[in-house]
Amino acid sequence: MTLKIASFDFTCCEGCQLQLANRESTLIDFLELLNIRNFREILSEKHEDYDIVFIEGSISRQDEVERLLKIRERAKVLVAFGTCACFGGVNSLKNRFKLDEAVREVYGNMAIETLPVRKISDLVKVDLSIPGCPVAKEEVERIMVSLATDSIPTLPNYPVCVECKQQLNTCLFDLGEICLGPITRAGCNAVCPTGKTACLGCRGPAEELNMPAFFELVKERGLSLDDLHEKLAFYNAFEPLATDET
């Protein structure tokens, strides 16, 4: 079945949409599954009839709220696409500050419309979430095939540590770093730890995670709880789980 899809970006870098457009080795076969009705990164034509809509980005202005509500009315299936859409993402860091003071500091007397950042599900019903910063191309293609064949799309329920061990990586905790791999949902093929960069949890919590045990691991290794909280808050993906367990 050919899927009538549309993709829209809100407050984001558009990197997740580019992931779909840049997978050259499978792009032609992938596009044969799709009847693209609106997707600025791929074509200039715009149509308002679509069944499945992908939303990239968080919501940070009132005009975005209004546009999102209209899109939700038209879509049969709405997919939160990427970490910003699923959790708020890096954009949520601005919620730590008083917005009026931050706007004055950056823009002076220029009038800037802004709101606290919200994830898509704060405003509309989300039928499916695909996390990642950016999303994993292979995972998106697999999910799209599931939708096209009317089967149930799934995400891994185990943590990134499983994929990290499959890559035969040295654990970053053994190298003195805090890594969120033990509590983060897999599906990225442990790309960050494989590159010796600690996981920051862009894919959100794994199922049945043990947050108290993870805090104990950090303390046992003599690592900084302040550093841990900084990592947990980076993508806003662990709220309200990111509480101090001390």
Q: Are 23 and 105 within one domain?
A: yes
Q: Percent of the chain, pLDDT > 90?
A: 70
pLDDT value at position 194? 96
- Measure the CA–CA gap between 210 and 55, rounded to whole angstroms: 30
Q: Are 128 and 168 within one domain?
A: no
Residue 193 lies in a domain: yes
Residue 88 lies in a domain: yes
Q: Are 30 and 129 within one domain?
A: yes
**Cα radius of gyration rounded to whole Å, the chain:** 19
The helix-helix angle for 225-233 and 211-220 (nearest 10°) equals: 140
Residues shown for the chain:
246
Per residue in 4-23, pLDDT (tens digit) is: 999 999 999 999 998 877 76
Q: Are 62 and 172 within one domain?
A: no
- Measure the CA–CA gap between 11 and 223, rounded to whole angstroms: 34
Per residue in 113-153, pLDDT (tens digit) is: 899 999 999 999 999 999 999 999 889 888 988 888 888 89
CATH assignment at residue 9: 3.40.50.700
pLDDT value at position 246? 46
Residue 243 lies in a domain: no
- Measure the CA–CA gap between 179 and 228, rounded to whole angstroms: 9
Q: Are 82 and 89 in contact (CB under 8 A)?
A: yes
Query: Could you give the number of structural domains in the chain?
Result: 2
The model carries a pTM of 0.91
β-strand partners of 36: 5
Domain ranges, residue 198: 160-233
- Measure the CA–CA gap between 130 and 79, rounded to whole angstroms: 7
Q: Are 81 and 164 within one domain?
A: no
Q: Span 109-114, mean pLDDT? A: 89
The per-residue pLDDT of the chain, averaged, comes to: 91
Q: Are 57 and 172 within one domain?
A: no
What's the burial of 207, exposed, middle or buried (CB within 10 Å: 0-12/13-18/19+)?
A: exposed
Q: Are 124 and 44 within one domain?
A: yes
Q: Are 52 and 96 in contact (CB under 8 A)?
A: no
Residue 229 has pLDDT above 70, yes or no: yes
Q: From residue 242, how far is each of 113, 167, 183, 217 by CA, in Å?
A: 29, 28, 11, 15
Residue 244 lies in a domain: no
> Edge to edge, what strands does the sheet with 128-130 contain?
34-39, 3-9, 52-56, 77-81, 128-130
10 Å Cβ neighbour count for 76? 10
- Whether the bond into 153 is cis, omega within 30 of 0: no
Q: Are 75 and 107 within one domain?
A: yes
Q: Are 16 and 137 within one domain?
A: yes
Residue 15 lies in a domain: yes
Residue 217 lies in a domain: yes
Residue 192 lies in a domain: yes
Residue 238 lies in a domain: no
